[in-house]
Structure 1
Amino acid sequence: MCIIDKLKKSGFISTKELSDWQEQQLQAAVRKGEAIRLKNGIYADIDALANTMVDIRTIIPNGILCLWSAWSIYHLTTQIPNAYYVAIERTRKIILPDYPEFQLVFQSDKLLSIGVTQKDVQGYNVPIFDMERSVCDAIKYRNKVGIDVMAEILQTYLKRPDKNISLLMDYAAKLRLRNTLNQYLEVWQ
């Protein structure tokens, strides 16, 4: 399979597994405007960038979609994210591409392990915090995102038939948010 066909099929490609000849083909595609270099060793098909989702695992290995990105995917908010919000390990250094825009959320390994799942989003298998963890994050970051946004997310979650309150409370305890969550639940339930 030609490297350009492979790029068009997957949308994103890393040069790690390419031969010299395939890299030359990729560079030719960049010169023709068929592909774009996102960062050193990561290339994207121009059409793939038109999608609203990108291959997070290729661009930020071990990154986890969170906050605005997760809330949008779970339809917990009506607001559209201005970037891809990705949680990574606190001490990790990473080079981000100029486009698309990413916002990194640095967390400890312990926090990163709570509520991680995989979800198929527009054909990409994306690591993302599950819905209950995402709701907990809205409460945790309520002063940064705004109380109104947090309220919208929690109220939307509470109306959903697929909610799991016991899992939400378990995550809230692990994230040290249980008392705060209880206060908001008393108001809206």
Structure 2
Amino acid sequence: MEAARSLGVFRAREFVGCGFSREYLRRLGARGEVTQLSRGLYRYRKFEAVEYQTLVEVAKRIPDGVVCLLSSLVFHRLGTQAPHAVWLALPRGHRRPSAADLPVRLHVYSKVSHAAGIEEHELPGGTVRVYSPAKTVADCFKFRSKVGIDVCVEALSDCLRQRRATLPEIERHAKICRVSRVMRPYLEAMQRVAQTPGICRLRSSSGSSTWPVRSARMPTCS
């Protein structure tokens, strides 16, 4: 019981790895102490529903996946999107997981792009892998035909305004995603806007470039 309580959301093999048998897990299920969410995935009955519970469940079922694009934007509080499914990235060549019972939208990334910019976040019930804000913005421009260019621009603007990424980070991931040329006009437009009255400039960590940030929303700009 204590193992189920501490794990929160868990796979059967994790429970067995704590020294308990599958038969004991079945007995807990029969008593209503744990709930089977899907094949091989369980949740302790008193585990509090949290904001990112679905992400935890998906991470348990598809451990090689990384939360990406719209779902990553929501996680980082960038933009105004509210996807109904978890957008998940898998490396090219990966076997397509059996997840028909999960609200998941899968996207195939190159192996290099899939491995770049991964953050691991400890949430109640488990660890979730999510792309960093800078990688997420670059990914959105890469998949702009799927998310919409307006979403890309909004994400880029929020990322810079909230200081969630530095200029070198964004440039590095733009190169990895091969969207440097695509992003350049939008970045240059933001530079021009920076010269408008009421706008201050946000300096990158390298000190070599600056980005526009509205001073009314970011009063501490230097």
Q: TM-score range by the shorter chain?
A: 0.7 to 0.9
Contact 1:36–1:43 (CA under 8 A) maintained in structure 2: yes
Q: Does the 8 Å contact 1:64/1:116 carry over to 2?
A: yes
Aligned amino acid, residue 168 of structure 2 = S
Q: Classify the secondary structure of the residue corresponding to 2:21.
A: helix
Kindly tell me the number of residue pairs found equivalent between the two proteins. Answer: 185
What percentage of aligned pairs have identical amino acids? Answer: 26
Q: What's the counterpart of residue 71 of structure 2?
A: 69
- Aligned 8 A contact 2:7 2:125 in 1: no
Question: Amino acid of the residue matched to residue 107 of structure 1?
Answer: Y
Cross-structure match for 2:138: 136
CA displacement at 1:71 relative to structure 2: 0.6
Q: Could you tell me how far apart the structure 2 residues matched to 1:65 and 1:107 are?
A: 12
Tell whether 2:74 aligns with 1:107.
no
Which runs of 5 or more residues in structure 1 are unaligned?
A: none
Shift of 1:48: 4.5
Question: For residues 121-162 of structure 1, what are the alpha-carbon distances to aligned partners after superposition, in whole Å with 9 as ceiling and x for unaligned?
Answer: 456432111110001011112221122222211111121234
Which of residues 160, 168, 171 in structure 2 aligns to 1:169?
Answer: 171
Q: Residues 36-47 of structure 1 correspond to what in structure 2 (within 5 A)?
A: 36-46=35-45
Residue 49 of structure 1: how far off its partner (Å): 7.6
- Corresponding letter in the other structure for 2:13: K
Contact 2:73 2:155 in 1 (8 A): yes
Change over 3 Å in CA distance of 1:97–1:30 after alignment to 2: farther
For the pair shown, which has the larger CA radius of gyration, 1 or 2? 2
Which structure has the higher relative contact order (CA within 8 Å, separation 6+)? 1
1:47 deviation in Å?
5.1
TM-score normalised per structure 2: 0.72
1:47-68: CA deviations, max 9, x gaps? 5483222434422112111112
Distance 1:123 1:45, change over 3 A: closer
Aligned amino acid, residue 63 of structure 2:
P
**Richer in helix (by share):** 1
Q: Which residue of 1 aligns with 2:149?
A: 147
Q: Are residues 178 and 49 of structure 1, via their aligned partners in 2, closer, same or farther at CA, if it must alter by over 3 Å?
A: farther
Asked if the contact 1:38–1:97 (Cα under 8 Å) also holds between the matched residues in 2, the reply is no
Change (3 A) 1:35 1:81: farther
